[in-house]
Structure 1
Amino acid sequence: MSGAHGGTVIAGKIGYAVSCVIAAAVLLVAGYAYHVEDQLGGIESSNALSGGPQTGEMNILLMGLESRTDYNGNILSPGLLAAMHAGSVYGVKNLGVGGQATNTLILIHIFAGGKKAVGISIPRDDWITFPKAYDGQSEGKIDQAYGLAWAQSLGATANSSTGHDQRYQQANEAGQAAAIASVQKLTGQHIDHFAEVNLAGFYALAQAFQGIEVCVTPWRGGVNFHDANSGFKIRHGGYQYLSPPQALAFVRERDNLPNGDLDRTHRQQAVIDYVIWKLEHQGVLSDLGQLNSLLDVAKQYVITDADWDLPLFATEMHALTGKNFSFQTAKIAGYQTINGQAANAIDIPTVQRQVRQAFTAPVASSGGKHGTAKNTAPVPPASTVTVDVYNGSGAPGLAGGVSQALVSKGYKGGAVQDAAEQPHQVQPATQVFYNAATAANAAKIAGYFGAAASASTSLPAGHVEVLLGTSVTAMPAGLGSSGAAGAGAPTATATSAGDNGAAAGTVTVNSKTPYGAPCVY
């Protein structure tokens, strides 16, 4: 789900980043595989949250840990750590490798009826004041809340008669509650349910899926093709298959990406896009062997709140598809060093306004709670609208590619300008502007980017202006499906084997596969 598609949570300092894709897959399995509802009862539960609705509108927080341990505090096996390129037992035990940070968080809003959802990815480095002090610390990066509360809980029970596994269960629930409270405070949204996975969970999911398919846009001659910390290594850009170890490395890399952790968030969203597409189009849910493998992974690695009735939730979720499951990334105000740490500066009112707009957006196909008379009004022909595209994303040539894609959908091509050319500079958020006559078309165009359209009195009649931000660094799936590509966009590649000795996998997605694998850095 590029900058415009998705839903889920994860990441780590050495970088790990999307175990939460497994949580997304579990939700989708719950939705599509409602004929095996009885098997969903085996998923572990937590008392960190209670009282949420089972159907209808709701907010779900997907979180994933960078932990190199299991949920009972046992260090993962040397073989598993090596396969995941996640350090060693000695490093975990003595050097502080890993932790209990939720370095990727995704807050998903499910609209009534389960036919539409929006996910907001929250960058792990967002600096916040915690809802309360955890382990004596009152502020820090949002991904630290879980680990601080987790450590505080373990410290409080260190000399008690509480059993080992129970101590860690309590610590996990303390961490979950802290992460939930922190996200609620940042976004201003109440969280109804949550799902959590750990580092090993994503690896197990990738194995159950027999690898994943991605599209990588080259940056600076392919510097993003290799990363020593995550172990990511591919031979070329474009569409390709990744074996399970390389799938994990793909979502962990951040050091060699143009926008660091923000681009890693886009990689996470792209993987979720592929998971959704595969579940819908490749018969996974009719293959009992693969379906059972997914459910087995869920039972071993996923934790949800105890009050969440997944079988009942499933009765609505089967209507959700990649086409109506969109992603955005929470806006940041800039980068700064706080207490010696590289962090994201944020403006909480701006973030809350973005989330509120995304979660209350009208459902075009409905005249009910979210529908208005405007939703049923005809949209003027695209040929009556000229679209100007300004590139503030930092991705070279993207403005031209987006302009061509919009022209292929019937719009008139207008001005095209890169960030280096004044007056438009690199900025975090993608924005779409319109004058009174182009409001309906602007709303449709904004939907490709998961952005909101805003009125502007300075635009010429008949014009819509798109200002690309760093939340969109590759062609959105909805535009890419037209076959248009930006300057320097990767071409489809038949197969790729990665660097881990895995056999090459057949690539089934490309630029014309809607919501399959959007190209990202």
Structure 2
Amino acid sequence: MLSRALLGVVRGTWVLLSAAVLVAAGMAWATYQDVDTGVRRSLAVRADDVKSTSGMNVLVMGLTTRRDLDGGAPSDEVLAALHAGDVDRGGYNANTLILLHVPSDGSAAVALSLPRDNHVPLLGIVGGPQHGKVKEAYGRAKEAEERRLVLAEVRRDPADIEWLGREAGRRAQVETVGSSLGVPVDHIVEVSMVGFYRLAEALGGVEVCLNAATSDEYSGADFPAGRQHLTAAQAMAFVRQRHGLANADLDRVRRQQAFISAVMHRIRSQGVNALGPVAEVAKQHVVLSADWDILSMAQGTSGIRFHTLPLESDPTADAQPTLRAAVTAALTPPAATSGAATEPSPIPCVD
């Protein structure tokens, strides 16, 4: 079902378990109702936006911010567990950007991972388009909108300013990604770094397997080789580590896919009870599009195909033409193959 597909796509660090919430929504009606009515809703995708005609496109965003949805800082204990510096480090970059295309004909969904450092025109920012890394649209738009609100001299609660700034950021990211990839964005899912940690905590950690022992002072990773159970803090380090790995970001992608596989294996073997209080945490840390019935995502797909879009290494170039061509190729259904597919290991060993 599509909720499982969404879990399979999430490449980024702190958005992984927001997808687990959608799995619960597809598996248990009571949980679905709880999440659907309690989660924060965004108007970043507008009613008059051009919509997909051959299915649904969902933009999954993972933010670097350590702050909550009202701009509040986490406790010192949580900051220490994140092992990611002080509360304002990282800004509001959308370091995880995944476009999930769900065809209307029931065929396999397609997950498009958009490398965060592609240079493109950044749209939706007060003052006009800017050029920069695709991940920066959110933070630049948020900052510009908050500056505009202050200059307007209208007294607002800080939490309102935070939300309005983030709404501008979400809108800018939707416009920027949609334009860069040449496809509409129909819905969004957003979660922050703290949100990921809290969701991992609600799950009680997860089991993974490493080919070799590894350590990294930047992420806080320090793991022996072999199969092992990770706490929430260790899970954060596991999916964040790229230093000390032979293939850096590519190895980090495999780590995150292995983490997702382990979560899905746990849900399949233990049922919805394996999720614990995930739905309650989602209501505090996950943002979904307004007027989006997330249960509809649990129906009608036959699996998922994964693609990582190219990275344009020249910072003076516009990556849009390369990205659009890659999206067209990725969304083209593959030719049918004979023989049964091999089922991957539910707890794959990775570097």
TM bin (shorter chain): 0.7 to 0.9
* Number of equivalent positions: 340
Match among 6, 9, 23 for residue 8 of structure 2: 6
Is contact 1:50–1:307 with CA below 8 Å preserved after alignment? no
Is contact 1:47–1:173 with CA below 8 Å preserved after alignment? yes
Look up the match of 1:102. 94
Q: Deviations over 1:208-248 (max 9, x none)?
A: 22112223344xxx5xx111111011022x43322211100
Residues 130, 299 of structure 1: alpha-carbon distance in 2 compared, 3 angstrom cutoff: same
Look up the match of 2:282. 298
Unaligned regions of 5+ residues in structure 1, if any?
11-17, 340-344, 363-373, 383-408, 410-477, 482-513
Residues 27, 116 of structure 1: alpha-carbon distance in 2 compared, 3 angstrom cutoff: farther
- Deviation of the 1:140 alpha carbon: 1.4
Look up the match of 1:81. 79
Is contact 2:24–2:31 with CA below 8 Å preserved after alignment? no
Look up the match of 2:250. 262
- Deviation of the 1:197 alpha carbon: 0.5
Q: Deviations over 1:134-187 (max 9, x none)?
A: 677711111111111111111111232122221111111111111111111221
Is contact 2:52–2:184 with CA below 8 Å preserved after alignment? no
Deviates more, 1:197-206 or 1:262-271: 262-271
Unaligned regions of 5+ residues in structure 2, if any?
1-6
Q: Does 1:245 align with 2:233?
A: yes
With structure 1 as the length reference, what TM-score do the two structures score? 0.59
Residues 272, 134 of structure 1: alpha-carbon distance in 2 compared, 3 angstrom cutoff: farther
User: For 2:93 and 2:135, how far apart are their aligned partners in 1?
Assistant: 5
Look up the match of 2:44. 48
Q: How does 1:270-419 map to 2 (within 5 A)?
A: 270-279=258-267, 281-285=268-272, 287=273, 290-291=274-275, 293-311=277-295, 313-314=296-297, 317=298, 324-333=303-312, 335=313, 338=315, 347-361=319-333, 379=338
Residues 131, 303 of structure 1: alpha-carbon distance in 2 compared, 3 angstrom cutoff: same
Q: How does 1:189-268 map to 2 (within 5 A)?
A: 189-218=183-212, 225-236=214-225, 238-268=226-256
User: For 1:172 and 1:114, how far apart are their aligned partners in 2?
Assistant: 34
- Deviation of the 1:83 alpha carbon: 1.4
Higher RCO (CA-CA < 8 Å; seq separation 6+): 2
Secondary structure of 1:304 counterpart: strand
- 1:27 counterpart letter in structure 2: L
- Deviation of the 1:318 alpha carbon: 5.0
User: For 1:352 and 1:291, how far apart are their aligned partners in 2?
Assistant: 37
- 1:44 counterpart letter in structure 2: R
Counting helix residues as a fraction of each chain, which structure ranks higher?
A: 2
Q: Which has the larger radius of gyration?
A: 1
- Deviation of the 1:28 alpha carbon: 1.9
Match among 340, 347, 350 for residue 517 of structure 1: 347
- 1:275 counterpart letter in structure 2: V
Match among 25, 34, 37 for residue 32 of structure 2: 37
